[in-house]
């Protein structure tokens, strides 16, 4: 019968009964959940436990572990219990670190020497193989046209074939054994190099965890140790590809969501199940408190608003064991594009978890590991946007609606138009159902000009003289595309908050589609569909009237 064991985390000062012996438990990292800042790590240790009371010791945790986050649970036979868990930080001397590193480097050197010797062995076997085939061939084929062909009967031919076959089989097996040994050496060297990286010069401590257990009889136990580290995180980034649609078709925006993971925790995550979470356990957990605002205090001194201190939200006491996905490989023609693994997106309340397919390795040297999360196709609404007052260029813009359950986190977007990289943009935080917008660079097939056509200044009035200024511009937009395209032209007019200063549009101006565009006062926008090879003329201008004694400076 299998029972689930849950640990009670106690401080190192817990007065536990005397235990029979210590068991140095080997463990490996099975699963890591990475947050935008910080990570939860799960280690697994399989231990044979004799009857009696014991202490399982795991002393390979990095010194940066948040000891209050340590949790232990497990499975085992009847009568196996966890009574308490102790943790303490053990300081390492530089002498110990240096000696461990030197021992690892010595082992790596020996293994590399052995691998080099195997290279020579394989080369020798290959030469023997070629020589044997050459000698066998000479028994059957004359070296030249003048040489007499030697007669060979069936018995001799059978003996020759058997001899060559047996010798080739022996050589091939020896070569295969040497290649297998090289593969093992490569894996061991990689593990040793990872351990060497963990022994960085500034790493002077590690965390030792002691798990006190009692077993009624000999049994097998599987223990899962989870803990939190802060020196890790992931950042989203995107590839957005858009092509101009054919006439009569809708534009499509292809968005590839990726993630960049880094960690410098002091331990390498070798061949782990990796989950990326949008949760922010190191962020604020409650809204800030707003202080009182007494008017008299605000007039005499700087306002002071109280902000509630925030603390990291506690993570779950244990994480569900990740089920390893095994990708099936198959021979594919070279003409087909390579398939790319994508994450499984799981919603957990308000947060999204991206379960990365297969197993992943993230070293602790700060190297950025990049993985692909998902690919989405959006229906896009294209338009050319221009602000000729500042830049006489039309920029192609794609608007889309976010679909699915998972949000698009803020990040850099690599932009591709018609297969060409045209620059980078940025996405804000967008939830499902929200509108997003991306710019895809200058559209050289849309020509824009803004020309000043009027600038008058003078006085008017009979009894009361006022000062009047009139300014006007013509904005022309020409579409050189073979199809129509929506265009938005943005400009502005000044506004006044004084009753004796007025601003009015000139009588011949083109009415704007939107005033106070995007809630910006005085900003005007003209939106229209421009047919191919067509030109649109927009007339804009205004008249400013003010007392003669008031000096009005127009920002034009």
Domain-embedded: residue 535: yes
Domain-embedded: residue 31: no
Domain-embedded: residue 13: no
Contacts of 6 (CB under 8 A, 6+ apart): 73, 82, 317, 318
Contact in structure between 376 and 404 (CB atoms under 8 Å): yes
- The whole-number average pLDDT for the span 336-353 is 70
DSSP symbols for 23-92? EE---EEEEEEE-SS-EEEEEEEEEEE-SEEEEEEEEEEETT-EEEEEEEEEEESTTEEEEEEEEEEEE-
Contacts of 226 (CB under 8 A, 6+ apart): 40, 41, 42, 43, 69, 70, 71, 72, 317, 318, 319
- Which range is least confidently modeled, 102-106, 136-140, 440-444? 136-140
- Burial letters 224-253, b for 16+ CB under 10 A, else e: bbbbbbbbbbbbbbbbbbbebeeeeeebeb
Domain-embedded: residue 69: no
Total-model pTM: 0.62
Domain-embedded: residue 521: yes
The pLDDT tens digits for 78-92 are 888 888 888 888 776
pLDDT of residue 196: 75
Q: Which of 159, 182, 198 is the last residue of a domain?
A: 198
**When comparing pLDDT for 416 and 284, which is higher?**
416
Domains held by the chain: number = 2
| 144 — pLDDT class (breaks 50, 70, 90) | low
- The whole-number average pLDDT for the span 152-161 is 67
**When comparing pLDDT for 317 and 280, which is higher?**
280
Q: Which of 181, 198, 215 is the last residue of a domain?
A: 198
Q: What is the CATH number of the domain that holds 491?
A: 2.60.40
The pLDDT tens digits for 249-263 are 788 899 999 999 999
pLDDT of residue 328: 43
Q: Which two tokens stand for residue 190?
A: 């990689």
The pLDDT tens digits for 46-76 are 988 888 888 989 887 888 888 889 999 888 8
pLDDT of residue 97: 63
Contact in structure between 35 and 282 (CB atoms under 8 Å): yes
Domain that holds residue 186: 95-198
Domain-embedded: residue 458: yes
Domain-embedded: residue 111: yes
The pLDDT tens digits for 457-473 are 877 766 567 888 899 99
pLDDT at position 315 over 50: no
pLDDT at position 536 over 50: yes
User: Considering only CA atoms, which of 372, 343, 373, 188 is closest in space to residue 270?
Assistant: 188
pLDDT at position 319 over 50: no
Q: Which of 165, 198, 231 is the last residue of a domain?
A: 198
Q: Report the chain's mean pLDDT, rounded to a whole number.
A: 80
Domain-embedded: residue 163: yes
């Amino acid at each position: 019968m299998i029972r689930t064991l849950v640990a009670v985390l106690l401080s190192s000062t817990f007065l536990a009964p005397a235990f029979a012996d210590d068991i140095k438990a080997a463990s490996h990292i099975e699963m890591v959940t990475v947050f935008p800042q910080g990570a939860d790590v799960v280690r697994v240790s399989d231990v044979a436990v004799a009857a009696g009371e014991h202490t399982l010791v795991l002393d390979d945790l990095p010194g940066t572990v948040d000891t209050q986050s340590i949790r232990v649970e497990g499975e085992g036979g009847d009568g196996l219990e966890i009574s308490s868990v102790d943790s303490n930080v053990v300081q390492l001397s530089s002498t110990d670190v240096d000696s461990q590193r030197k021992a690892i480097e010595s082992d790596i050197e020996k293994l590399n020497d052995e691998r080099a010797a195997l290279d020579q062995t394989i080369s020798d076997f290959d030469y023997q193989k070629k020589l044997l085939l050459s000698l066998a061939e000479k028994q059957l084929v004359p070296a030249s046209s003048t040489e007499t062909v030697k007669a060979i009967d069936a018995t001799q031919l059978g003996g020759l074939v058997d001899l060559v076959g047996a010798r080739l089989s022996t050589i091939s097996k020896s070569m295969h054994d040497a290649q297998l040994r090289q593969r093992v050496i490569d894996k061991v060297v990689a593990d040793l190099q990872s351990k060497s990286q963990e022994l960085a010069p500034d790493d002077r401590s590690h965390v030792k965890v002691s798990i006190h257990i009692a077993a009624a009889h000999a049994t097998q136990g599987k223990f899962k140790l989870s803990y939190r580290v802060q020196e890790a995180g992931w950042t989203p980034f995107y590839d957005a590809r858009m092509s101009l649609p054919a006439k009569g078709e809708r534009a499509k925006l292809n968005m590839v969501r990726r993630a960049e993971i880094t960690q410098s925790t002091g331990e390498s995550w070798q061949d782990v199940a990796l989950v990326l979470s949008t949760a922010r356990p190191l962020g604020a957990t409650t809204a800030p408190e707003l202080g009182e605002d007494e008017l008299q205090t605000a007039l005499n001194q700087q306002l002071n608003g109280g902000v509630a201190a925030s603390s990291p939200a506690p993570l779950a006491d244990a994480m569900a064991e990740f089920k390893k996905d095994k990708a099936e490989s198959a021979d594919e023609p070279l003409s087909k594009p390579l398939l790319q693994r994508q994450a499984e997106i799981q919603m957990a309340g308000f947060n999204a978890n991206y379960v990365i397919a297969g197993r992943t390795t993230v070293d602790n040297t700060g190297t950025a590991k990049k993985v692909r999360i998902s690919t989405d196709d959006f229906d896009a609404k294209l338009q050319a946007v221009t602000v000729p007052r500042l830049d006489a260029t039309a920029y192609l813009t794609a608007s889309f609606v976010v679909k699915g359950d998972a949000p698009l986190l803020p990040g850099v977007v690599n932009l591709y138009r018609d297969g060409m990289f045209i620059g980078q943009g940025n996405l804000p935080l967008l939830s499902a159902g929200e509108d997003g917008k991306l710019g895809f660079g200058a559209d050289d097939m849309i020509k824009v000009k803004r020309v000043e056509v009027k600038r008058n200044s003078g006085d008017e009035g009979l009894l009361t003289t006022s000062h009047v200024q009139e300014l006007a511009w013509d904005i022309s937009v020409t579409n050189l595309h073979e199809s129509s395209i929506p265009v938005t032209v943005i400009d502005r007019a000044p506004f006044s908050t004084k009753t004796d200063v007025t601003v009015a549009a000139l009588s011949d101006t083109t009415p704007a589609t939107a005033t106070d565009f995007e809630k910006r006062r005085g900003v005007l926008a003209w939106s229209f569909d421009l047919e191919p090879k067509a030109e649109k003329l927009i007339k804009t201008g205004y008249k400013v009237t003010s007392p003669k004694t008031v000096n009005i400076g127009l920002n034009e």
